[in-house]
Structure 1
Amino acid sequence: MKAGEDARGARGEGPRKLGLCVLCGLPAAGKSTFARALSHQLRLERGWAAGVVAYDDVMPDAFLEKAGARPLPSQWKLLRQELLKYLEYFLLAVINGCQMATPPNRTEAMWEDFITCLKEQDLISSAAPEAQSCYLLTKTALFRPLFLILDDNFYYQSMRYEVYQLARKYSLGFCQLFLDCSLETCLQRNGQRPRPLPAETIHLMGRKIEEPNPEKNAWEHNSLTIQSPACASEPSPELTDLLLAALENPVKYVEDNVEQKETDRTICSTNILHQADQALRRIVSQAMKEAKDEQVLPYNLKLLAEELNKLKAELLEDLREGNRKYLCVQQTIDISDVISFFHYEKDNIVRKYFSKQH
């Protein structure tokens, strides 16, 4: 029996219980200590699967080492979005009960740290023997309710809303925990760290931080403010109730996103096929635009479109079936190989129709 069938059988007829918990607050507010304690408590007392994704641990240090300073805000934003994409790949594997694919475009150091993070928390085991670009999920990740705790400052609401959108996309539970710690205490703790942040950075974040506001934003209704350092004690019943409510009442799925959900399932098992389809569509569209600009006759435009779409369909079918009629016989196919081959064949076809104009 396949892993996906095992997972579905274990879940029964009910939906899989998955949740995302955003942990936010100032630097040195005690978030990482609290996240580890909460994860341990969920595993020990609830029997859930739990994982902590600490952004400071997963974000690459390359920028720091190269420039001697923190990345620009625009660079951080791109890295945060990339990390969310990694989380999405993991969630897709859990939801579909399949192996976790490797994103084609990734920051290698950050991806490796993300993989290490999941392995250390018994959520993935190793690379699949038959495909080094895929990873096997553990029984813990597949068969138990799962909460991922995202540990970062998340000082802007927009940062947290991106996580909420991910929860909404896949009907996951969602909640927020805000660690309320005085600026003075954070500065004091920061000064005791091996690699402290500049005090001005914490002052600036203290002025900018946007606390959860459930009264104003409906999407933030599952939020709880926890006083620090009191947060180091046992999680309160109020916190446990919040987590349970989030799991039992996942964010409502947007019905008009059915096609996108089917596409995302494809990414899980046939990631290269999905990427190739999107890339080839763009190439065909661009080729047709260039043909129109060259004033190719309407009848010839129709023939050109038919030839290009036939080539695209045959190439994707070849990729899907693994026949390697068009692509060279090799164990792994990179998306760049597919695009390069298609460009070569496309140019040969287009050249015929352009020559007819002269």
Structure 2
Amino acid sequence: MALILVMGIPGSGKTTLSTKLEVMTNFCHHQMKREGKFSVPPYESILWSISNSFIIVDDIFYLRSMRRPFERMARAHSLCYIIIFVDETLEIALQRNKGRPPKVFIPEKTIHRIYEEMDIPTENTENFIRFSSSDELNDLITKIQCIFSTFKKRNCHKLVETSPQDTASKDDTLQNLEKEMRKCISELVRGSKSKDLARNLGKVKKEIMSEFRRNNLKTWSYSDLKNRLLLELSRFKTDE
């Protein structure tokens, strides 16, 4: 399965392109809603309900931080991750925006700001495709399928090459991580009179451990772990 993000400035034609891809292929298109904050979990349930398919999510995605949760989700679920940048001129995008109904109209200054701050992936990124209105849709589909095919082959090789030694190495990493986190927690609770502090830090530790295990992370610093524990701890209410 592949997760495809379609990014671009408002009025660039992202939704139009995504709809065409959906019609011409077995791609499944989801447009992000503008009301409220978006969170990744609802899309995780969608991923598991659709098998052997390409999932398209279209939105502005003009900052890398906006795309990062999807990249992490793709990595966690071993999905092929593809970014399509719809490259349209500012003039045409503004013109299209003027023709929109008032409910979906976007202020021109907002479009100008997004255009100026657009964080476009580097051209040599293997999972990145730049698409303009002058390009052929069939060529785009071919590129998507090529990236997906390469991903599947590479994934198969990884499965074949994985050895018990690799698993043992991963276990050692997690053991070392847990030791470091236990040391951090010990320092943080030392001298504290709170009954909830140690318990809540234990919950945070489990979450961080799961994140490292899921994303196969292997490096960290003691100070970063300690700061992360304190940051996540702020979600819990502790007794004084």
TM-score of the superposed pair, with normalisation by structure 2: 0.60
CA contact (8 A) 1:175 1:242 kept: no
Cross-structure match for 2:85 = 178
For residue 225 of structure 1, the aligned residue among 130, 137, 155 is 130
CA contact (8 A) 1:28 1:187 kept: yes
For residue 64 of structure 2, the aligned residue among 157, 161, 164 is 157
Q: Distance in 2 between matches of 1:294 and 1:175?
A: 47
- The answer to whether 1:199 aligns with 2:118 is no
Question: SS in structure 1 opposite 2:72?
Answer: helix
Q: Distance in 1 between matches of 2:147 and 2:10?
A: 26
Q: Distance in 1 between matches of 2:127 and 2:2?
A: 12
Root mean square deviation of aligned Cα = 3.2
Q: Distance in 1 between matches of 2:72 and 2:58?
A: 17
* Structure 2 runs not aligned, ≥5 long: 159-165, 172-184, 200-240
Q: Distance in 2 between matches of 1:187 and 1:221?
A: 30
For residue 42 of structure 1, the aligned residue among 12, 17, 25 is 25
Q: What amino acid does structure 1 have at the position aligned with 2:72? A: Q
List structure 1 segments (4+ residues) > 6 angstroms apart after TM superposition: none
Alpha carbons of 1:173 and 1:184: their partners in 2 closer, same or farther (altered >3 Å)?
same
Alpha carbons of 1:27 and 1:294: their partners in 2 closer, same or farther (altered >3 Å)?
closer
By how many angstroms is 1:245 displaced?
2.8
By how many angstroms is 1:51 displaced?
1.4
Cross-structure match for 2:138 = 236
By how many angstroms is 1:89 displaced?
2.4
CA contact (8 A) 1:20 1:173 kept: yes
CA contact (8 A) 1:19 1:246 kept: no
CA contact (8 A) 1:19 1:146 kept: yes
Corresponding residue pairs, total? 166
TM-score of the superposed pair, with normalisation by structure 1: 0.41
CA contact (8 A) 1:21 1:177 kept: yes
Alpha carbons of 1:198 and 1:245: their partners in 2 closer, same or farther (altered >3 Å)?
same
Q: Distance in 2 between matches of 1:294 and 1:245?
A: 56
Q: What amino acid does structure 1 have at the position aligned with 2:148? A: L
For residue 120 of structure 2, the aligned residue among 192, 205, 211 is 211
Q: Distance in 2 between matches of 1:294 and 1:31?
A: 52
Q: Distance in 2 between matches of 1:210 and 1:180?
A: 12
- The answer to whether 1:247 aligns with 2:115 is no
**Identity rate, percent:** 25
| Structure with bigger gyration radius | 1
Q: What amino acid does structure 2 have at the position aligned with 1:54? A: Q
- The answer to whether 1:167 aligns with 2:167 is no
Q: Distance in 1 between matches of 2:7 and 2:75?
A: 19
